[in-house]
Amino acid sequence: MHRARGGTRPGQRTLLLVGVAAVLATLAGITLASSLQALQLPPERVNGHYEREGDLGGWWLFQRYGQTNIPSAVPSQLSSNASSPTLLGTTSANYTVNAATAGSAALSWRFLETTAVPKGSEVELTFGISLGVLASVQVKVYFETAASTLTSNATILLYFQTGALAPGTIDIQSVTELAVPCTPPAPGGCP
C-alpha cells in the first residue's frame, strides 16, 4: 500500500473525522447541559375549580371561596335533615356544614342573601368536595329563609372542616355547590 503524499490513508481520514465529530458532540452536550439547569421551587397549591349549579332567582349569590380555619367561637351547624331545616336570621351569620372544632383547617364559602329573598323558603345546598389527600365528600344541608323581611343584605359564611390538614397543604381538585329551592318552598318541602 502506498500513501498519498502529505495525506492520510482513506480509513484514517474516516476515523479522524469520526473522532473530531465525537469531540465536538461531547463539547456541545456539556455546554448544553450546563446551560439547562433545573430550578426547584416550593410546591405549588392549586385551588382547583368551583362550580355553581342551580339558580335561586338572584337572591342567594356566591361571593367568595377560600381556605381558612374554623373560628374560635365555632358556628352552629346547618341541618342535614330536610324535615327540620336551620332557620336563617335577618342578619349576617356564620355556619358549618359538618361537625367542626375551633382552629381546624376548613374550606369556606361566602354568600350574599339579598333583600329580595322570599320569606320562609326552604333551600337544599349540596357541596361536592374533592381533595387530593382525602376521598371525595358530598355534604347536603338544608336551611329556611327568615319569615320576616330582610332590611339589608346579609352575608352568610359557611365552613367545611377538612380535618387535621393545614390550609396550605390542601390540594383542592373540585368543589361543587348546588342550590335548589324546595317544592313546595315551605319547610319539609325538600325530599
CA 70 – CA 158 distance, rounded (Å)? 10
Query: Exposure pattern of 41-73 as b/e (b: 16+ CB <10 Å)?
Result: eeeeeeebeeeeeeebeebbeeeebebebbeee
Instruction: Tell if the pTM clears 0.85, that is, is over it.
Output: no
State residue 178's pLDDT score.
67
Among residues 181, 96, 101, 110, which one has the least CA distance to residue 139? 96
Say whether pLDDT at 127 is over 70. Answer: yes
Q: What are phi and psi of 33, to 5 degrees?
A: -65, -35
Task: Report, as an integer, the average pLDDT of 3-24.
Answer: 56
DSSP E strands: which ranges in 11-145? 49-53, 60-69, 76-77, 86-87, 93-96, 105-113, 122-131, 137-144
Quote the CA–CA distance of 8 and 184 in Å, as a whole number.
100
Say how far apart CA 117 and CA 60 lie, in whole Å. Answer: 8
Distance (Å, rounded) from C-alpha 15 to C-alpha 25? 15
Determine the average pLDDT of the residues in 66-74: 91
At residue 106, what are phi and psi to the nearest 5 degrees? -150, 160
What's the full length of the chain, in residues?
191
* Residue 43 pLDDT: 36
Q: Tell me the β-bridge partners of 55.
A: none
pLDDT, tens digit (0-9, with 9 covering 90-100), for 130-144: 776 666 778 889 898
CA distance 24 to 17: 11
pLDDT at 185 > cutoff 90:
no
- Cell numbers standing for residue 20: 473530531
Residue 81: all three cell numbers together: 335533615
Domain residue limits, the chain: 8-38, 49-181
| H-run or E-run covering 156 | strand 154-163
Model confidence at 87, pLDDT cuts 50, 70, 90, reads very high
pLDDT of residue 49: 47
- Residue 64's pLDDT band, with cuts at 50, 70 and 90, is confident
pLDDT at 20: 55
Percent of the chain with pLDDT over 90: 26
pLDDT for 22 beyond 90: no
Average pLDDT of span 166-177: 61
As a whole number, mean pLDDT of residues 163-185 equals 64
- For 24-43, the pLDDT digits (tens) are 555 544 443 444 333 333 33
Contact (Cβ atoms closer than 8 angstroms) between residue 142 and residue 126: no
Provide the pLDDT for residue 129: 78
